[in-house]
Structure formats: structure tokens, C-alpha cells
Structure 1
Amino acid sequence: MNQKLIKNGFILAAIMNFSVLIFSRGFTNVAINDADPIVMSNFGLLMIVMWGIAYLSAATVISNIKWVAGAFALEKLIYVVVWINWLLGNSLEAVYSTDIFAGIFYSIYGLNDLFFMLFFAWVFISSSHKIKS
């Protein structure tokens, strides 16, 4: 495994989580909250930022990242399942008509989480191999 790739992947995951600050306009975009008031409340959005901080912190870990990556993969799996359930019971068109930033957010957040779930799972599975610098 390439340590630089892993580090950059964790940093990119953090940046993507921090992007919630843009989509939520600094937690003032109530269209995101209204579309899913439980998961995407301002508290939920803050927790997304906190996960970003955790990913950024993990980017500095040089060894023994396996179980951290495994935990992150499970966390992302939960968000992917929640997103799919949300899509099945809600209308993206309605969110877009309320706010374009909220529409974009709900269109991409699950795909983003799926991508990073696969990345974290890859790190978890691959971490039994020696990590290269």
C-alpha cells in the first residue's frame, strides 16, 4: 500500500466533508435541514464536519490504520444506506426547486460517501500488506 495515496485519500475525504459548510452556507441553508430534519439537522451537519476532522487526523497516522479505516468504512456505509432510503422516499426535484445548493448536496452526498466507503474498505482490507512510503 502506498502511504502517500492513503494520506491524500484521507485528506480528500476531509475536504469533501468540509464542503458541507459551502452547501449549507455555514449552517444557514434550511432547505438542507428541511429535506431531512433528522440526519441533516445543523447538529448532523456539524457531525459531518467533525468526521472530516477525524479523517484529517487519520491522514497523519503512519501505521496501524486498519481498524480506523474499517470504522470509517462502516460510518460511510451508514450514510450510503440513509441516502438511498432518502432517495426512495423523497423528491430531488422538490429540493432543487427550493434551493439549488440543497439539491446538489442531496444529489451527490451518497455517491461521495460510497466512493470513500470503498476507499476506506480498501485501506482496511489492504492494510495487512506492508505500507510503502
Structure 2
Amino acid sequence: MKTWFYLPLLLLGFILPGCTKTTNEVVIPNKTILVDIKSTDWKQVNGVWGVTFIVPELDNSTNQTDGVIVSMSRGNAVFEILPEVYQDQSYTVIHNPGNIVVELRGTDGRPTIVPAENITFKLVLIPSSQIQ
């Protein structure tokens, strides 16, 4: 009689260990770079205002494979991802090996004005792998 009492406990002992969940998390750290830009740092080339960031971490391999995200904050600690239109001005991003360029243009052919306040740009490089 005692054998029948222990049989369910024995079976439960075999079933429960098989129900454990195993997760393998791989965390690949990104690189975040903060750059403060003054209104005097903007340069005009061919009628387009722009600012260039030298980013040595953005090599040829990183430029081709990894994710590059640029966002900006106008001193209020709120970052907005570019490209974006803000107060009838269009911000666009161009990245090449070694540098990132943020261009500022007026919308609908309107003239553009360089921002009077300082802007903080956040550059985030996210490692990725290319599948072919």
C-alpha cells in the first residue's frame, strides 16, 4: 500500500525537472556618444547648413553593417530621433566612415535659420551582423 502512495511522488519527481525553462541571453553593448553643438558650430556649404562630428568608432565595417542612430535634444533632456522636421526646418543625417553629418534645411524651399540655442546630439552605434 505504501508503494502506491510513493509512486505519484516518484513520477512527479521525474516530471518537474523537465519543466524548467532555460534562457540564454546575449547582450551586445552599443556605443553612445554625446556631442554638444553651439549655434556657431554650424557651417554653410552650397546653401545647406550642417555640422560634422568626427567619430573614429565609425569605421568602414561599422558603417556598412551596424545601426547608426542620431537623436537631438534642445536642452530639455528630451531626445528626438532624426530625421525630423522641427519648426519648419528639416534635420537629416548622413554617415560615412569616420564622421556623421547633420544637415539643416528649410521645408518647402523656405530659408533656414541656424538654431540660437545649444543642441546636444546623441550618437548611438548598435552592433549588428549582416545576413547574406
Is this a same-fold pair by TM over 0.5? no
Work out which structure has the larger RCO, using CA pairs closer than 8 Å and 6 or more positions apart in sequence. 1
**Which structure carries more strand by proportion?**
2
- TMscore range, shorter length: under 0.3
TM-score (normalised: structure 2):
0.24
Of structures 1 and 2, the larger Rg is shown by: 2
